[in-house]
Structure 1
Amino acid sequence: MLRGKLGKKAMAICLAASSVLLIACGGSTAQESGTPDSSAKGTEVASEEAGTNFEGKTIEIATYLSGDTLSAYKQVIADFESETGVKVTLDEYGDDYESTMKTRMASNDLPDIFETHGWSLIRYKEYLTDLSGEAWASELNNAALGVIKDSDDKLYALMTTGSCLGTAVNMNVCNAACDKIKAAGYTPVANYFTSAGALANANGSWLSYEGEQFNDNEAMLNGTWDWQNFGVILDYLQTWFDNGYLYEDCGTIKQADVIERCAQNECAFVVGIGASFQTAVVAQNPEVKMAMIPICASKEGGARFCGIGEGASFGIWKDTDEMEVCKAFLNYVSQNADGINAAAGEISTLPCETTKSYGMQLMEEMESHYPDVFYDNLWDRKYMPSGMWSVFQVAAGMFCEDQSDESKAEVIEYLKENYTDLYEAAQE
């Protein structure tokens, strides 16, 4: 059970990690990366295995995808069925995906193929097939491997798209530093506290990586973390409030509001956001020049990283009766993922795109300026027990309303208590 009061606003706490931008990046930004190319065409190359006749075979696939991405996925499935004779039963679990899959894991009755959505190593791997020997495995880029490659080099999912959480930069209004941007009449940092995901995973650059101020990884993972080092992040975040670097309504604005303001050249940075945000900005105003930079280190020699989340990622149940068919399907997806990638609006982790997405353009441009950037799983998935997402939301509202020393102490205690409860519950 979550402790403490409920807040109306979300994610203020995790904004603290965005301060790495000012400390380590200064005025350094990547150059413009162009605008989305709407002429992308899906590849029609079918794999040798997918061309095999599997007439009469049936497989079950579970998905949490929605909207245009789901429509694109359905088209790939339909094409696979047409070419192979396989009948695919698609389970669309939507918002019930997590609870449904946990129930099916408990009974060891899983779909032949299911989406791992960020948990291929952390939650699902004991139920999945090692796919490191598949032809497409060697094609995955570093962004994907940083998340789905196990310590023994095994892979349990085909990752076709991913979210790359870095720092979105509006080049039209970006001068050297936040004070100059504010003095010029713009809002330096356009982060919003109503989103559960925009900044939660930026904390890791301060607390979890070699060369940083703290390296609390072991304590986070074994349930003994006391959260006291989190106070440094809150102290720095307070200066953002004090200096007026944030929108006055940052506790209530939504992502759609920030997209619109960025498209109108009102703000400079959004930290801990994926390429789909920038794609949406440029879609509203093609004249806006956007770039991506890492979530930078908090000090010299620290870690510059991007948090990567599995997007459309598919694994095979290790006990499936149709292993050959399932592997043929994943191989087919690996060569026909253009439509899925385009609809997702994020980055592709396979080289099958006939035209590079806007997100890939941004990421490759970033890597040319920051060759030392590294990719890791989203911080909360890797280091926090399940259930901390909503805890961060409540704590964010607490801090957004009051940045006093007393409030910071209450926030840390609230986080610690719920972290301890959830960790202990996970061990039962």
Structure 2
Amino acid sequence: MLRGKLGKKAMAICLAASSVLLIACGGSTAQESGTPDSSAKGTEVASEEAGTNFEGKTIEIATYLSGDTLSAYKQVIADFESETGVKVTLDEYGDDYESTMKTRMASNDLPDIFETHGWSLIRYKEYLTDLSGEAWASELNNAALGVIKDSDDKLYALMTTGSCLGTAVNMNVCEAAGVDPWAIETWEDFNAACDKIKAAGYTPVANYFTSAGALANANGSWLSYEGEQFNDNEAMLNGTWDWQNFGVILDYLQTWFDNGYLYEDCGTIKQADVIERCAQNECAFVVGIGTSFQTAVVAQNPEVKMAMIPICASKEGGARFCGIGEGASFGIWKDTDEMEVCKAFLNYVSQNADGINAAAGEISTLPCETTKSYGMQLMEEGESHYPDVFYDNLWDRKYMPSGMWSVFQVAAGMFCEDQSDESKAEVIEYLKENYTDLYEAAQE
């Protein structure tokens, strides 16, 4: 059981907490541009590649997708069935996906194809087929490979979409304040830019505490990556991390409060409010958010010039990175009786993913989009300024036990209410205790 140590006042704030501490993961706020291609570019590939008649074959696919993305996926499946004669049974597990898949893993009775949704390496690898030899594998971009390529170069999933998290930038505000966001490398640089933006009469940091999120997406820039202040990865993964180095993050984030970088109502505003304020050119940065945020801003005001820069490094020479989450990603059960059909299906999806990408409103990880999304344009523009940027899985997903997301949210509420040294110590202890509990529970 998670240990809660909060009073009613703190808990009220916790329910609204997420982003400053958390460098919060932005939810999908608007569909990104991109027109589905109904011409089914890969319609003949599946049958020809297999060299056999698939008529009468049946495969089972499990999905957690919903809404428009699920509808687009169903269309791809229907087209594949029509072209190949394969019958697809689609299991829509929805909110029960995690528990259902864990039960099926325990009995070693898995669907022929199932969505890995961020866990192809961390959770499902031992049940999946290596797909690194497939034709589409060489077409995946660096954003995808940074998340799904194993240390031995194996791939266990076809990743068609992903969420890309960096720092959203209002270029209009930066220009008015005399700030070049492309020159920002470190958190020290970031604060210097914020000082200039505040002096020019704008709000530097528009992060908000009412989005569901976690104390996660920027943590690697202090704790995990080459050239940073600490490298605690091994301890994080084996359950022995004592969290003491986490204090450097709290010390830094305190400067956002002390220097007046945030909106005064950052504890109550919602993402929609921040989108509107950014569209009105009131604020400069939202740290650790996905490209759907910028898409929503320009939808309200096409005159606003937005950009995305990577997460800052903790010191000069440190890592510049963006967090990537697997979106619509599909793997093949290693013990399927229909391996040939399953590989043909993934090949088909790889060439007909436009509709899925457009519906998801995220970045595409394959070169099959007929219309490049706004998110992809932002990501590629960032790469042109930061050619050494690298992509890694979301920090909490890669290094923390399952269940820490909500724990980070509570911790954010604690820190939002009180940034004293005593509060920092309580935050660290709270995180450590729950991390230990969840890690031990995961070993059972």
TM-score by length of 1: 0.89
How far apart are 1:334 and its partner, in Å? 0.2
Q: Is the 8 A contact 2:37 2:370 kept in 1?
A: no
Mean Cα displacement is larger for which, 6-15 or 373-382? 6-15
Equivalences for residues 246-395 of structure 1 within 5 A: 246-395=262-411
Q: Is the 8 A contact 2:37 2:355 kept in 1?
A: no
Q: Is the 8 A contact 1:43 1:353 kept in 2?
A: no
Q: Which residue of 2 aligns with 1:67?
A: 67
Q: 1:419 to 1:29 in 2, by over 3 A?
A: closer
Q: 1:357 to 1:129 in 2, by over 3 A?
A: same
Mean Cα displacement is larger for which, 162-171 or 41-50? 41-50
Q: 1:98 to 1:304 in 2, by over 3 A?
A: same
- Inter-partner Cα distance in structure 2 for 1:36 and 1:172: 31
Equivalences for residues 79-94 of structure 1 within 5 A: 79-94=79-94
List structure 1 segments (4+ residues) > 3 angstroms apart after TM superposition: 5-53, 196-199
Q: 1:32 to 1:195 in 2, by over 3 A?
A: closer
- Match status 1:186 vs 2:202: yes
Give CA-to-partner distance per residue, 1:264-320, whole Å, 9 cap, x none: 222111111111121122122211111011001011001100111111100011111
Q: Is the 8 A contact 1:50 1:83 kept in 2?
A: no
How far apart are 1:253 and its partner, in Å? 2.5
How far apart are 1:59 and its partner, in Å? 1.3
Give CA-to-partner distance per residue, 1:153-187, whole Å, 9 cap, x none: 11100001111111110111129721232233322
Give CA-to-partner distance per residue, 1:345-378, whole Å, 9 cap, x none: 2111111112211111111110110011111111
- Inter-partner Cα distance in structure 1 for 2:389 and 2:296: 24
- Inter-partner Cα distance in structure 1 for 2:309 and 2:251: 24
Q: Unpaired runs of 5+ in structure 2?
A: 175-190
How far apart are 1:330 and its partner, in Å? 0.3
How far apart are 1:130 and its partner, in Å? 0.8
Q: Is the 8 A contact 2:162 2:362 kept in 1?
A: yes
Q: 1:336 to 1:267 in 2, by over 3 A?
A: same
Q: 1:306 to 1:328 in 2, by over 3 A?
A: same
Q: Is the 8 A contact 2:17 2:267 kept in 1?
A: no
TM-score by length of 2: 0.86
Q: 1:12 to 1:51 in 2, by over 3 A?
A: farther
- Inter-partner Cα distance in structure 1 for 2:56 and 2:312: 53
- Count of aligned positions: 428
Q: 1:38 to 1:15 in 2, by over 3 A?
A: farther
SS at match of 2:244: coil
How far apart are 1:427 and its partner, in Å? 1.9
SS at match of 1:11: helix
Report sequence identity in percent: 100
Q: Is the 8 A contact 1:158 1:315 kept in 2?
A: yes
- Inter-partner Cα distance in structure 1 for 2:18 and 2:410: 19
Give CA-to-partner distance per residue, 1:112-137, whole Å, 9 cap, x none: 11110110000001111111111111
- Inter-partner Cα distance in structure 2 for 1:34 and 1:341: 8
- Inter-partner Cα distance in structure 2 for 1:293 and 1:321: 45
SS at match of 1:350: coil
- Inter-partner Cα distance in structure 2 for 1:213 and 1:12: 34
Q: Is the 8 A contact 2:55 2:84 kept in 1?
A: yes
- Inter-partner Cα distance in structure 2 for 1:27 and 1:388: 18
Mean Cα displacement is larger for which, 381-390 or 253-262? 253-262
Give CA-to-partner distance per residue, 1:70-100, whole Å, 9 cap, x none: 1111111111111111111212222221111
Q: 1:385 to 1:13 in 2, by over 3 A?
A: farther
SS at match of 2:45: coil
Q: Is the 8 A contact 2:170 2:304 kept in 1?
A: yes
Q: Is the 8 A contact 2:120 2:157 kept in 1?
A: yes
Q: 1:155 to 1:74 in 2, by over 3 A?
A: same
- Inter-partner Cα distance in structure 2 for 1:16 and 1:49: 52
Mean Cα displacement is larger for which, 127-136 or 38-47? 38-47
Mean Cα displacement is larger for which, 138-147 or 186-195? 186-195
Mean Cα displacement is larger for which, 2-11 or 108-117? 2-11
